């Protein structure tokens, strides 16, 4: 497993978490 693959996987995970957090804040506000 290359380190580049882990970086891309981590970035995609961070983007997904940020989108979920943004949607949660919009619905709760």
pLDDT tens by residue, the chain, 29 residues: 689 999 999 999 999 999 999 999 999 87
What is the pLDDT at residue 10?
98
What is the pLDDT at residue 2?
86
Positive or negative torsion for Cα 25, 26, 28, 29: positive
Which residue do the tokens 């995609």 mark? 12
| Spatial distance between the Cα atoms of 9 and 14, rounded to a whole number of angstroms | 9
| Spatial distance between the Cα atoms of 7 and 29, rounded to a whole number of angstroms | 33
The string of DSSP codes covering 1-29 is: --HHHHHHHHHHHHHHHHHHHHHHHHHH-
């Amino acid at each position: 497993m290359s380190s580049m693959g882990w970086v891309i996987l981590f970035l995609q995970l961070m983007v997904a978490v940020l989108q979920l957090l943004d949607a949660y804040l919009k619905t709760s506000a």
